[in-house]
């Protein structure tokens, strides 16, 4: 069980400490944790946000546990050196095209999102976000128009194989859940989405037991707030999935609660919270480590087929939240380490 631990920047460092403590508390046989620099930390030390030794470790390890990258002081760097390029580079290099972002209600947090409690408590959804295509990886740049104006561009493109493989992941996920899949696109405007919808329909023929629907992304954003309980699995492109998952996190209570798994064809995966380095609270010991801890649970499930320990972590997190050990993001006063202490104690019970 060889894990590359890439804590990264800002609160990435703080929340990773707690996730590692939880993993160590499980007494996993053969657990080997190798740390490496990524993001702004790596740029400052090695001159690159994704140094070759970090990429090598990520490639040789069985799984990658990733904190967050993002350093406002380095925002002016050119594109290839921007610290966010580290996370995009890892996803692309490891061919992790499927990003699973589950959002489910936690007992005790029903009043926190501002949604009516009966609406908030019905949330149990999975966003399947395509992760290696779309505007993120299309041709991009800045140029001058014929009129001498500066113009920025990012090409949105998906080919049918990219759409089909993420659709298969989503249909299979739906089969293991409530059997409902909603494909989210913007097919009333975008040609990318017209093809997306057509390919998802074709793939659907192989999954007659899954009920497929389609929704435009603007409506989906609204429905996530109006009635999130209507969703089981959502499949969508890279950009829409990025935005909708942040939104879903707040329906649950906080972005500090949502974990993710980035997967490819094999068992190798990268596991990371959906949030970033949170420079506004970094260094204060108040970041919520739950998303990071739950990412470690997803790692045990998807890369090591260890459902027992994955559930041990998830149950511990639910218990700690239900007991009212809440971070500042949830209106409580528990510090990052106090939350970690509580989860460690709960997994050992």
Ligand X SMILES: NC(=O)c1ccc[n+]([C@@H]2O[C@H](COP(=O)([O-])OP(=O)(O)OC[C@H]3O[C@@H](n4cnc5c(N)ncnc54)[C@H](O)[C@@H]3O)[C@@H](O)[C@H]2O)c1
Clarify whether 246 is annotated catalytic: yes
Cβ atoms of 296 and 23 closer than 8 Å: yes
242 in contact with Mg ion (CB under 5 A): yes
Q: Which residues lie below 8 Å from residue 79, measured CB to CB, with a gap of 6+?
A: 85, 140
Contact pattern from residue 265 through residue 284 relative to ligand IPM, giving x for each residue in contact according to CB under 6 A and a dash for the rest: ---------x-x--------
Which single residue is written with the structure tokens 């030794």? 53
SS3 readout for 280-291: CCCCCCCCCCHH
Residue 346 site contact among ligand IPM, ligand X, Mg ion, none (CB < 5 to 8 Å, cut-off depends on kind)? none
Exposure pattern of 5-31 as b/e (b: 16+ CB <10 Å)?
bbbbbbbbbbbbebbbbbbebbeeeee
In 3D space, the residue among 99, 47, 2, 20 whose CA is nearest the CA of residue 289 turns out to be: 20
Confirm or deny that 295 is annotated as ligand binding.
no
Clarify whether 242 is annotated catalytic: yes
Residue 83 DSSP code? T
Q: Which structure tokens are listed for 127?
A: 């966003």
d(CA 273, CA 1): 21
257 in contact with ligand IPM (CB under 6 A): no
Confirm or deny that 242 is annotated as ligand binding.
yes
Binding segment for Mg ion (CB under 5 A), chosen from 19-27, 123-131, 170-178, 237-245, is 237-245
Which single residue is written with the structure tokens 């002016």? 76
Q: Which of residues 311-340 bind ligand IPM (CB under 6 A)?
A: none
- Which CB atom, from 43 or from 136, has the smaller least distance to Mg ion? 136
Position closest to Mg ion via CB = 242
Q: Which of residues 88-127 bind ligand IPM (CB under 6 A)?
A: 88
Q: Which is the catalytic residue, given 43, 136, 158, 207?
A: 136
Confirm or deny that 276 is annotated as ligand binding.
yes
Which single residue is written with the structure tokens 């991009």? 140
Q: Which is the catalytic residue, given 186, 232, 271, 329?
A: 186
Confirm or deny that 151 is annotated as ligand binding.
no
d(CA 166, CA 263): 10
d(CA 292, CA 274): 9
Binding segment for ligand IPM (CB under 6 A), chosen from 42-50, 83-91, 117-125, 301-309, is 83-91
In 3D space, the residue among 38, 67, 39, 7 whose CA is nearest the CA of residue 259 turns out to be: 67
Clarify whether 71 is annotated catalytic: no
CB of 127 to ligand IPM, least distance (A): 11
CB of 20 to ligand X, least distance (A): 16
314 in contact with Mg ion (CB under 5 A): no
Confirm or deny that 287 is annotated as ligand binding.
yes
Q: Is 205 exposed, middle or buried (0-12, 13-18, 19+ CB in 10 A)?
A: exposed
- Which CB atom, from 129 or from 268, has the smaller least distance to Mg ion? 129
- Which CB atom, from 91 or from 328, has the smaller least distance to ligand IPM? 91
- Which CB atom, from 25 or from 292, has the smaller least distance to Mg ion? 292
Q: Is 323 exposed, middle or buried (0-12, 13-18, 19+ CB in 10 A)?
A: exposed
CB of 138 to ligand X, least distance (A): 19
Q: Which structure tokens are listed for 237?
A: 């492109």
242 in contact with ligand IPM (CB under 6 A): yes
Clarify whether 159 is annotated catalytic: no
Per the annotation, binding residues for substrate are 91, 101, 129, 218
Q: Which residues bind to ligand IPM, rule: CB under 6 A? A: 84, 87-88, 242, 274, 276
Per the annotation, binding residues for NAD(+) are 276-288
Q: Which residues bind to Mg ion, rule: CB under 5 A? A: 242
For the annotated catalytic residues, the residue numbers are 136, 186, 218, 242, 246
């Amino acid at each position: 069980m060889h894990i590359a631990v890439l804590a990264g920047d800002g609160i990435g460092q703080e929340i990773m400490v707690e996730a590692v403590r939880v993993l160590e508390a499980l007494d996993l046989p053969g657990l080997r944790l190798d740390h490496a620099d990524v993001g702004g930390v790596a740029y400052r030390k090695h001159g690159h946000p994704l140094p070759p030794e970090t990429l090598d470790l990520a490639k040789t390890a069985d799984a990658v546990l990733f904190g967050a990258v993002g350093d406002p002081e380095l925002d002016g760097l050119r594109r290839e050196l921007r610290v966010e390029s580290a996370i995009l580079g890892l996803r692309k290099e490891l061919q992790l095209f499927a990003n699973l972002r589950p959002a489910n209600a936690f007992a005790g947090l029903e009043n926190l999102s501002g949604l009516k409690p009966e609406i908030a408590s019905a949330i149990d959804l999975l966003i399947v976000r395509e992760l290696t295509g779309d505007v993120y990886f299309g041709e991009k740049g800045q140029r001058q128009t014929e009129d001498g104006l500066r113009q920025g561009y990012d090409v949105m493109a998906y080919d049918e194989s990219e759409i089909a493989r993420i659709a298969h992941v989503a249909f299979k996920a739906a089969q293991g859940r409530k059997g409902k899949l909603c494909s989210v696109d913007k097919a009333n405007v975008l040609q990318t989405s017209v093809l997306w919808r057509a390919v998802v329909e074709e793939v659907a023929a192989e999954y007659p037991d899954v009920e497929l629907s389609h929704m435009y992304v603007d409506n989906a954003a609204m429905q996530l707030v109006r009635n999130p309980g209507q969703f089981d699995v959502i499949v969508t492109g890279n950009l829409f999935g990025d935005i909708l998952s942040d939104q879903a996190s707040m329906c649950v209570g906080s972005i500090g609660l949502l974990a993710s798994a980035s997967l490819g064809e094999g068992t190798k995966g990268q596991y990371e919270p959906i949030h970033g380095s949170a420079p506004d609270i970094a260094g204060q010991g108040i970041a919520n480590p739950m998303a990071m801890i739950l990412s470690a649970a997803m790692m045990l499930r998807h890369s090591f087929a260890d459902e027992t320990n994955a559930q041990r972590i998830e149950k511990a997190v639910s218990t700690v939240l239900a007991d009212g050990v809440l971070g500042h993001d949830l209106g409580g006063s528990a510090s990052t380490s106090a939350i970690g202490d509580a989860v460690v104690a709960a997994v050992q019970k």
